[in-house]
Each structure stands twice: as structure tokens, then as C-alpha cells.
Structure 1
């Protein structure tokens, strides 16, 4: 009985051990089955978490696991990952497009965070502040190091505007002048971003606008002066006739002749001013293809009718040259150049006109005289309105300094260029460049 009891206990113990071992094996298998796909998911995500991958990699499970709940979880994570990556790519493209747009602007654009540190700056703003792009990002503007006190002053002014915009949540507009004598004008516009997330600063170069205003003021002042002078002369002679009715015939003839001559000068001045106004509003629908040589020949004929002693030699280096111009205005431009050549040359005037190719698509008209020439210091200004090199001679001839200005305005309106070179005592050379057109336009 004792032996049977012992055998039973041993057998029961062995069976218990076997069952325990089997349970352990089954438990390990079940746990392994459950933890293996989780470990695969963790292993797949680890490189992204550690920063070794830019994007979250795709989770791939064994085929046996793809149909169970873990497979569905992996599939859901992959689907979410794809959507997130697409969204990131979309936002990246949008950011790149926005930066490209900001870089293409002619204005300087700088973005700031809530502490007034730079988060973005386009190249135009970097050039205006004379700073490298990397030296601006993450810093406030006064920290920029510049050898120019003017640029440092501009950076400080920009920073003050940005701080004011951040504090008041209002758009701040300021004007800053750079250079001696106010050569460059900048408008500084600081505006807060939505949700108080920062501010943006726009630097607009308004120099051309200010120059237009200044030119307008100068034009009005000069025109007023030029108009006042002949009016004063006429008024003086009229008062003389009124105060002294018994003038001699010779004196009366002299006074009336001066009044008529002054009226003629006044008439020419008004016509020149009206011509300038008309040219500024010239529509390109007025342009027609013209044979350049025929137009030059026509202008030569008109000039020789008024100045029969003058000599005009036309040299054509192109067989045919057609240009799209307003015929009347282009005649006026060429006539002004030819008449200037006669006016500032000793009699009899000798003028040479050359029609030559400039490039494959452009033609040059050169008008050259053997006159008194133009001083080098005056050459940069001869196309300015009311500018005269020899004021006494211009007054005597009735000129107001508008002839070459009219010529340049006409040439500019025809998409051309004009330049001048001169040597005192030897003559002046004007070179006009125009785009070529076919005979049919």
C-alpha cells in the first residue's frame, strides 16, 4: 500500500510538473504571439523617434499577423502616417511657394516672432540692411553689426516700429531717408500678425516716387520761370508804350519787333510743354511701320528748306530698315537733333547721319555734327527738362531747354535709347537705338 501511495504521489508530481511546463510553454507562446507584433511596431518607429529618419517608416508585419487585430492596427497607423506625410508635403510646398513669392518681391519683407526676433527675411531686405541672411535669423535687428551708422540707424528704426506694432496691435508706417541729401527714401510698414503670433515688416523703396514728385515740383518751377520771363518782357514794353505815347517811329518799330519776337518764344515754349504732355500719354496703337531711310530723307529736305547752306550726308549701312513709330513724333525727334546740329555748328553746318545695325533686332541712327561740342560736365544733364548748356545762347535763339528732353521722351516711348558723346571744338554725336520691325509690322 505504501509503495502504491508513493508511486501515486510521484506520478501525480510528474504530471503536475508536466502540466506546469506545458502551461509555461503555452503562456510563453501566447505572450510571444502578443508581444511580437508590438515589438515589430516599436522597432519600425524607433529610427524616426531617434531622429535617424525624416519621416515615419511604413510598418510591415508578418503575413500571419496581417489579418488579426495587430495587422489592422498597423494598417491604421500606416494610413495615418501617409496622410500626415501628405499634409507635411503640402505644407512644405506651400511654405516654399510663399517664400518664393516673398523673394520675388521688390520690397524687403521680414517676419518676427512675439519677442521681435527675425524668423524670415527675403534677400531684398538683407541687401537693404546690408546683412547676411543667416546673421539675421533668430536675432533682433539692433544686434546686426554694420560698419555704416546709417544702416544701424535703419535697423534700430525698424526694430522700434516692430515693437510698437507688437505692443499696440496696430499697423505702424514710418519714412526713412538714406544717404546724403536724401538720396534714398524707404517706407517702413510694421503690421501685427493674426492671433498675436508676431509681426511682419515691409521695407518699400519709394525713391522713384519721391523723384517724380521732385521732378514735378522742378518742372512747375522751371515752367513758371520760363513763362514769367517773356510775360515780364511783354508787360514792360506794353507799359512803355502806354506811358510814352509819342515815341519815334524807329523806337516804336523796335519795341513792337521785340514784343513779336518774345511772343514767338512764348508760343514755342507753350507748344513744347503741350508736346511733352501729349507724348506722356502716347498710345502704342499710333505706331506704324515706316521705312527709316525715307523718314530721314524727309527730315533732311525740311531742314535744308530752312537752312539751305547746311549740308546733310546720309550713310545707310542697311539695305532696308523698318521701325514701328508714330510718324509725326519721330519726325519731330529727328528734326530736333538736326536743328540742334545746325544751331550749335559754325555756318555752314556739316551734319552726318548714319543708319547702321546695332544688333540682329535693333537699328541705330547716328546724328553727328562738327560744332562747338558740349562740356563733359554737362553731358549727363542735357536730356533734363529746361537744362541749357549755354544759357545766353539759348535765350538769344529762343530755346527753353526742352528740345532734347522731348527727343528722349519720344525715343523712350518707342522702346528705344539715346546717348550722347561730345568733344569741345570738334562736335557732338547722338546715337538713337530702336527695335526693328518687318515691313508689315
Structure 2
């Protein structure tokens, strides 16, 4: 913009300079010409006066030379100009400055020749005698036999000096005028280009995506209109960009928080986009995949082949693959073609982790199978003994009593099984309301042990308790008793006669699990241990599964349904706690339950935990 300003100022200065120079030259030339014309006219008038006063007779002989020379010198003293009298044939009759006898014939002099033709002649030239520029004016005198010429010559060096002074002043004035014009032109150019510079700077900032740029110019005139238009455009772009950024942010937030993996591939097979879930499912970070061919991804052959087929066939495909990296997962893949103009189309991959769904489906299938199997045994027993009684085997009262006792026991077992199934279903479907309240663990453990005291006495099993004073936990008391009763009942059932079962309750710090002071604790740890038959190491990971039994024959004989520990695990988790088990075959088993002292949503009666 500075160069444009300089060029504009130079053009303006040039125009002003040419105009002033032309005017000055014209004025100087006109002045010089008018000055010479005035001088010539003055000389012509003076010649007219001399002509009237001079007697041309006689115009020959020695006396004539003396007389005309004397008259010439006389008029020179009056006019200040050189006076020359010339005869009609060009002979010099008299001269105020030189001897006429020694002077050449003057008929060929330019001013004389012109006077011969026109009556008046004029010439300016350098004099050979004075070596100055002289103005010569000759007038022809017509008087019959006494024709001749009167010529006046005046030194014009002073006139030339005056003209030179005029030119010097003119040039000096022109230079000063040019300087003033340059300053004025620069100021005018700056006034014209400064708002354009502001518009240009704003446009450059807008081009660099700085949409806060605004033009500050005088609102008047065309440049003001341009500035307002640029400001309106910048404001519109800024609003559009804000909306675009908001939508981009929303889209990024949606993509990053989707539970499905999203991968976009263009028609050339280059990966353009993938979200956080896609990175997790594929086991590769985005920077290793974006901008690269999908065939370069370290993935299994089936996925690469599926993408190639979808790109080639341009139709929706769906498949389910097992991924083994970074962990084993069942992934449902939907490949949706994206239609676009020219080559802007591509392929959209939607990856959905269905591992949990498939596991749940398998668990449901196994659950139905296990329920069917567990129900079939008591039903078959009831039906078989009932048919035996109906078939006439009830004649013996003792036999009849034994059969009825079996039918009664199997009915009880069937009832417990149905109740446990319904209970587990309610808990898993989160339809079990938990009513939290403070529970003092000392009295609570005492009452719970009393419920199983008779069962322990039958097997001569000693139950030991160790509970600190004034230990409290926020829990659903009925559900907490169900947890302790189920674990304690298992301990009694799988401990031989004369054995020992111990319940230990202690305060702990939830962060590191260390024993805490009774007035400063975050969680409660309940240990239920026995010296029973123990659990094999291979069965430990599965004991909380539904219908899983370590010793199936003994479990059925004890009346167990195989759902007790599964219910316990779900109830502990609903209390935001944890349960673990340690066991050694032939030595015993220890169940460790940890529950937080305070529940986050405690105090809301009828709360369904999520």
C-alpha cells in the first residue's frame, strides 16, 4: 500500500509539475517576446524621429561621411543606441561607433535585407565588433535619388540578464511550488490511501480467519461504504464461524461420548475420521490411523476384507467379528456407504461392542437351562412319590409317612428355589428397593447369629463373634441380614460337626484398607471364616455364579439352591461394597465383605440403586 501511495503522490506531483512548468515556460517566453517586441517598436519610433530630423543631401563625398558620422554620434548620445546611416546601395554613410569608410557593405545584413523587402527589418545576433548580442532594427527611407536605411543597434545583454533572472526566479518558484505540491500530494494521497490501507489490513486479517477485524474509516463517501460493507461481512462471517465452531464442538462431543465406534473412510480407502470409542475397540490411537489407508491398520484380515467388499459393492453390509486385540471382544460392524458428489463419497463404519450382550444372552440361556434342571429334580421327586402312593404303595403307614416326608421336603426345596429365583430376578432387574438407615453392628450381629444358633447346635458348631463397640454402617438392615445369613449358613453347612465359625467386624480406611480407629473410619469389614472342608482353587472364581456348586450332592442334601452366593454378591454391590473369598481345601474358607459407612444417596426411602 505504501508503494501505491508513493505512485499516486508521484503522479499527482508530476501532473502539478508539468502544469506549473508549462505555465512558467509560456510566461517566460511570452515575457521575452513581448520585451523584444516592445524594444523593437521603440527603436522603430526613434528611427522615425531621426529620419525626420536628418538631411540626406548631399549623400556622397568626404563631407557626407563626416556629416552623417557626426549626426550618428549625436543621436547615439540621445538614444543610447548605436546609429548607422546606410545608402541605398548598402554603403555605410555614417556610424556612431566605427569609421564608416572601413565598414563593409551592409546590404546583405539580415535586418537591411528585410527592410529592403518590407520597409522594416529586425535581427538579434552577436556583434563581431562588440562581441555582445545586439538587436538591430533597420528602416528603409524612400526619397527618390536619396534612398537609404537608418539602423539602430542596442546591446541586449542587460535584457538577457533580466530574462535569465526571470528564468532563475521561475525555476526557483517552480521548485518551491513542486515541494509544496509534493507535500500536498503526499497528504492527499495519504488521505486517500489510509482508509484503503485499513480496509486492506482488515481484509487480510479476515483472510487469516481473524473474524474480529473491523475497519475504522470515515463513514462518508465511497470508501466509507466499502468499510461498512467489509465490517458487515466480517460480522456475518464471525457469527457463522461461531455457529460452525459450536456445531463442530457439539459434533465432537457427541462422537467422543458415543458408545459406538465411528470410522469414516473415503472412496480411495483413506481413513478420515474415528472417534474415541473406535480407538478403544480397534486398539490403535487416532494419530496412527488418520490419513492412512485402511489396509495399513494392524487389524485382522476379516475386517480389512469386509471394508474392501463394502467399498467395492457400495451397499450396506453387516457382520459380527471377534477381536482379540487389545482384548477379546465381540464386535458388531455396520458398513454404510456414503453418497457424495464426484469422489467425495466413502464408507461409514459403526462398531458396537456386543460382548456384554452376547455374554448376557449366554447367561440367560444357561440360567433357563439351570432353572429347568433344578426345577425338574424336585418336581420329578414329588411326582414320582405321589404316583407311587396313588399306585397302592401307601398301605404301610411308615412307608406312607416316609414318602409324604420326601414330598414335603421337595416341595419346600421347590418353594425355596422359586423364591430365590424371584429374589435374584428382582435384584438383577434393579427392582429391589433399599431402605438405608444407620445399623449398629454389635446388636445386629448378635441377632443374626441367634437366627442360626439352633442349626449350629445340631452340628455342635461353635460360632464366635468379634465386634467393636459402637460401630455403625448405613445400610438396608434386612438386606444386610440376608447377606450375613447366607454366608453364615454356608459356613455352617460346609463345616464338619464340632467345627468353628467366626464372625469378625472391624473398621477400616476405605483408601488403603488398613484397620482404622473406631472414631475415624470410612468402611466396615465383615469377615466370616470357618474351618470346614474348603473350596478347591479352580472353583473359587465361579462360586458367585448362579447354580454353581462345588459339591453338588452335598449342596442338594443340605437344601441349597445354588443361588445364595449370587444373591449375596448382587446385594453387596447394591450397597456399593465388595466381597472376596479365600479358601484352602481341608483348612477352611474366609469370606470378606467391605461396605462403605455412608451411602451417597442415603436418606431417600424407597431408593432404587442404579
Question: Aligned equivalents of 1:163 and 1:92: distance in 2?
Answer: 34
3-state SS in 2 of match to 1:307 = helix
How many aligned positions are there?
Answer: 425
Match of 1:122 among 262, 272, 275: 275
Q: Tell me the residue number matched to 1:136.
A: 289
Q: Tell me the residue number matched to 1:111.
A: 264
Give unpaired runs (5+ residues) of structure 2: 1-32, 38-123, 125-158, 511-520, 604-610
Question: What TM-score results when the alignment is normalised by the length of structure 1?
Answer: 0.80
Q: Map of 1:309-324 to 2, 5 A cutoff?
A: 309-317=460-468, 319-324=470-475
3-state SS in 2 of match to 1:314 = strand
Q: Please say if 1:55 is aligned against 2:210.
A: yes
59 and 96 in structure 1: CA distance in 2 versus 1, 3 angstrom threshold: closer
Contact 2:211–2:237, Cα closer than 8 Å, also in 1: no
Question: Aligned equivalents of 1:245 and 1:316: distance in 2?
Answer: 55
Q: Tell me the residue number matched to 2:375.
A: 227
Deviates more, 1:208-217 or 1:234-243: 234-243
Q: In the TM superposition, what whole-angstrom CA distance separates every residue of 1:44-70 from its partner, at most 9, and x where no partner exists?
A: 369669x9x553784767x8x775533
Higher relative contact order (CA 8 A, sep 6+): 1
Q: In the TM superposition, what whole-angstrom CA distance separates every residue of 1:384-424 from its partner, at most 9, and x where no partner exists?
A: 00000011211222323111112112222232221111122
Q: Tell me the residue number matched to 1:417.
A: 578
Q: Tell me the residue number matched to 1:381.
A: 542
Question: Aligned equivalents of 1:139 and 1:209: distance in 2?
Answer: 32
Alignment RMSD, CA only?
4.1
Q: Map of 1:213-224 to 2, 5 A cutoff?
A: 213-224=361-372
Question: Aligned equivalents of 2:546 and 2:248: distance in 1?
Answer: 48
Question: Aligned equivalents of 1:162 and 1:431: distance in 2?
Answer: 55
Question: What TM-score results when the alignment is normalised by the length of structure 2?
Answer: 0.59
162 and 290 in structure 1: CA distance in 2 versus 1, 3 angstrom threshold: farther
Q: Map of 1:31-430 to 2, 5 A cutoff?
A: 32=189, 36-37=193-194, 40=197, 44=201, 55=210, 58=213, 68-113=221-266, 115=268, 117-144=270-297, 146=298, 150=300, 152-158=301-307, 160-161=309-310, 167-168=314-315, 172-179=317-324, 184-191=329-336, 198=345, 200-243=348-391, 245=393, 251-280=399-428, 281-284=430-433, 286-308=435-457, 309-317=460-468, 319-325=470-476, 327-358=477-508, 359=510, 360-430=521-591
Contact 2:393–2:400, Cα closer than 8 Å, also in 1: no
Question: Aligned equivalents of 1:57 and 1:243: distance in 2?
Answer: 99
Contact 1:44–1:59, Cα closer than 8 Å, also in 2: no
Contact 2:199–2:230, Cα closer than 8 Å, also in 1: no
Question: Aligned equivalents of 1:33 and 1:339: distance in 2?
Answer: 100
Contact 2:576–2:595, Cα closer than 8 Å, also in 1: yes
Q: Which has the larger radius of gyration?
A: 2
Q: In the TM superposition, what whole-angstrom CA distance separates every residue of 1:96-118 from its partner, at most 9, and x where no partner exists?
A: 34213321233212234455533
Question: Aligned equivalents of 2:311 and 2:253: distance in 1?
Answer: 23
Shift of 1:363: 1.6
